[in-house]
């Protein structure tokens, strides 16, 4: 063989070899997932990871036809740890996007990281209103796939008014999430003609409501409660134990599937609102609940569904992008234009936040989906379709008012 031929052969082999090698490394979607897998929020972290993982398992670990490298990091429930892990994922693991965060403060802490590292951040749990409202322009690479705190509670306020309730007491955990939930409810309720006559704010983590229950005014028609975690378990028990039989209208986390399995019969009949209920009577949801329960031994919570659907959103967006990662800005554009048929119902987006069904649900004890035991389920009693983060107010008008806080909307009818 002549040396020239040898060189050509060698060159072609190299070229072929490089050509064969290159696509393999480009055809991989690296996703960083940040959740509290240890610490006091470990169970919610587990739900988050399990939800996303289940979608991956159902789709052969591919999204949009592309192999996924799914890296989970523990943020331990601390915002600064989340930032550290996010940077590790971006700088060391070179992820295309990072997803998750649990607390609202973690959402706020992670948003600037999307700017400084020019990487897409998908918040699949943090619900702080302003991240997609008054502060949305600061974080163009921030995308949310679940809810804003006030989103389900606008329709709930409307519903409460339609039920004929005129005077409502609110009792909610004393922190930003509580303020935004109550704010949403109060705005819609009072715009319809209702009156919030008292606002009580027990500190986050209160389990003994003894000091607060006796101060509740006697002339209220109903009580709006926003409870989180262990508070959700104790409040209904103690309210009923004090002899108070008024109907309870709950915020999203007061009766969701994360706490419902551990509640007793005293919560039957209590109403709440959220973009998901495990008792949504569609075939798609039934399949999801059954598969999740068989795999992980518990009914999925909205953390599970939120992350499952996030995986679905990424799947559809990657398909639209032709199986190639188009960069964060373009990917956001694609996601923003998606219309998804998700487990929770139809889903589209406005200003990087979902537009979706909001379900008003009531706790009932019954057999569901063919399970043989009577259990507590959040039966859907009314669906408000196409609810955005602005409700019926329109974007301009809504953003013109300040973010819901402890003092806004003001308690005009507090006696």
Partner 1 sequence: MNTQFWVVQAFNGISYGALLFLVGSGLSLIFGVMRIVNLSHGAYFLWGGYIALSVISATGSWALSLPVAALAVALIGIAMERLFLRSEGFAFLRNAVIAAALAVLVSLAISARWPQFIGGGWIQFIAVAAVAAVAAFFMLSRISILPIETDVLRQVLLTVGFAFLFQQGALDIWGGNNMDINPPGALTQSIVIGGVYFPAYRMFMIALALVIGVAIWLVMEKTRMGAAVRATVDDAQMARGVGIDTNRISMFIFALGAFLAALGGVAGGAFLGIYPGLDFEMLPLAFAVVIIGGMGSLGGAAIGALAVGLADNFGKALFPEVSYFTLYAPMVLILAVKPTGLFGRE
Partner 2 sequence: MVSQQVKIALVTAALAVFVYIVPHSGSFVVLLATRAMAFAILAMSLDILLGYTGLASLGQAAYFGVGAYLTAVLATKFHFGMGWDFWLVVVLGILIGAALAALFGLFAIRAGDVYFLMITLALGQCVWGLAYRWNSLTGGDNGINMSGRPNFGLDLGNEVTFFYLVFAFFAASMGLMYVLVRSPFGRSLTGIRERELRMQILGYNTWLHKYIAFIIAGGFGGLAGVLWAHTNGHVSPETLVLTTSVDALLMVVLGGAGTLVGGAIGAAIVFGLREYLSTIVPWWQYVLGGVYVLTILYLPMGLMGIPSRLRQRFSQGKDEGSKELASKPS
Q: Looking at beta carbons only, is 110 or 355 nearer to partner 2?
A: 110
Contact between 35 and partner 2 by CB under 8 A: the answer reads no
- Count CA within 13 A, CB hemisphere, residue 207: 4
Which parts of 112-151 interact with partner 2 (CB under 8 A)?
112-113, 116, 128, 138
Per partner kind, with CB cut-offs from 5 to 8 A, the member of partner 1, partner 2, none near residue 40 is partner 1
In this structure, are residues 180 and 145 in contact, taking their beta carbons and an 8 Å threshold? no
> Helix %, strand %, coil % for the chain, to 5?
40, 20, 35
Q: Give the contact letters, 11-50, x = binds to partner 1 (CB under 8 A), - = no.
A: ---------------------------xxxxxxx-x----
Contact between 76 and partner 2 by CB under 8 A: the answer reads yes
Of 84-92, 189-197, 290-298, 390-398, which part binds partner 2 (CB under 8 A)? Answer: 84-92
Per partner kind, with CB cut-offs from 5 to 8 A, the member of partner 2, partner 1, none near residue 171 is none
CB atoms within 10 A of CB 2: 7
CA dihedral 162, 163, 168, 173 (to 10 degrees): -90
Strand runs labelled E in 248-374:
248-250, 271-274, 340-342, 345-350, 353-366
Of 148-156, 187-195, 206-214, 313-321, which part binds partner 1 (CB under 8 A)? Answer: 206-214
Q: Do β-strands 66-74 and 62-63 pair in parallel, antiparallel, or remain unpaired?
A: antiparallel
Taking CB under 8 A as the criterion, the residue among 27, 28, 57, 80 binding partner 2 is 80
Contact between 291 and partner 1 by CB under 8 A: the answer reads no
Per partner kind, with CB cut-offs from 5 to 8 A, the member of partner 1, partner 2, none near residue 211 is partner 1
Spell 56-81 as b/e; 16+ CB within 10 A means b: beeeeeebbebebebbbbbbbbbbeb
Taking CB under 8 A as the criterion, the residue among 176, 260, 273, 311 binding partner 2 is 176
Return the closest-CA partner of residue 82 out of 99, 68, 69: 99
Binding site for partner 2 (CB under 8 A): 37-38, 73-74, 76, 78-81, 83-85, 87-88, 91-92, 103-105, 108-109, 111-113, 116, 128, 138, 174-176, 204, 405-406
């Amino acid at each position: 063989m002549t040396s020239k031929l040898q060189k050509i052969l060698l060159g072609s082999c190299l070229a072929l070899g490089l050509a064969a090698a290159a696509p393999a490394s480009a055809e991989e979607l690296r996703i960083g997932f940040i959740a509290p897998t240890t610490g006091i929020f470990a169970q919610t972290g587990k739900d988050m990871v399990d939800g996303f993982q289940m979608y991956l398992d159902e789709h052969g670990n591919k999204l949009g036809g592309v192999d996924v490298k799914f890296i989970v990091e523990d943020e331990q429930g601390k915002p600064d740890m989340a930032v550290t892990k996010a940077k590790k994922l971006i700088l060391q693991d070179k992820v295309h996007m990072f997803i998750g965060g649990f607390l609202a403060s973690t959402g706020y802490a992670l948003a600037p990281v999307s700017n400084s590292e020019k990487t897409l951040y998908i918040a699949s749990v943090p619900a702080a209103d302003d991240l997609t409202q008054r502060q949305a322009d600061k974080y163009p690479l921030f995308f949310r796939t679940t809810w804003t705190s006030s989103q389900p509670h606008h329709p709930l306020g409307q519903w409460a008014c339609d039920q004929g309730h005129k005077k409502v007491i609110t009792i909610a955990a004393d922190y930003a999430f509580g303020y935004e939930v109550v704010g949403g409810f109060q705005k819609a309720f009072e715009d319809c003609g209702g009156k919030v006559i008292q606002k009580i704010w027990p500190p986050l983590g209160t389990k003994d409501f003894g000091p607060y229950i006796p101060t509740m005014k006697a002339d209220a028609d109903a009580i709006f409660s926003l409870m989180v975690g262990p508070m959700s378990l104790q409040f209904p028990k103690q309210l009923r134990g004090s002899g108070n039989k008024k109907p309870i209208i709950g915020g999203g986390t007061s009766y969701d599937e994360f706490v419902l399995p551990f509640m007793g019969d005293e919560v039957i009949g209590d109403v709440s609102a959220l973009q998901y209920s495990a008792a949504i009577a569609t075939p798609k949801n039934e399949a999801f609940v059954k598969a999740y329960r068989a795999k992980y031994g518990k009914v999925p919570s909205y953390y599970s569904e939120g992350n499952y659907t996030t995986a679905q959103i990424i799947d559809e967006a990657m398909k639209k992008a032709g199986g190639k990662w188009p960069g964060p800005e373009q990917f956001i554009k694609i996601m923003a234009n998606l219309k998804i048929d998700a487990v929770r119902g139809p889903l589209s987006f406005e200003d990087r936040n979902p537009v979706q069904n909001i379900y008003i649900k009531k706790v009932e004890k019954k057999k569901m989906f063919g399970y043989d035991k009577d259990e507590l389920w959040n039966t859907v009693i009314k669906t408000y379709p196409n609810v955005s983060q602005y409700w019926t107010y329109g974007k301009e008008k809504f953003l013109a008012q300040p973010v819901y806080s402890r003092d806004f909307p003001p308690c005009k009818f507090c006696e």
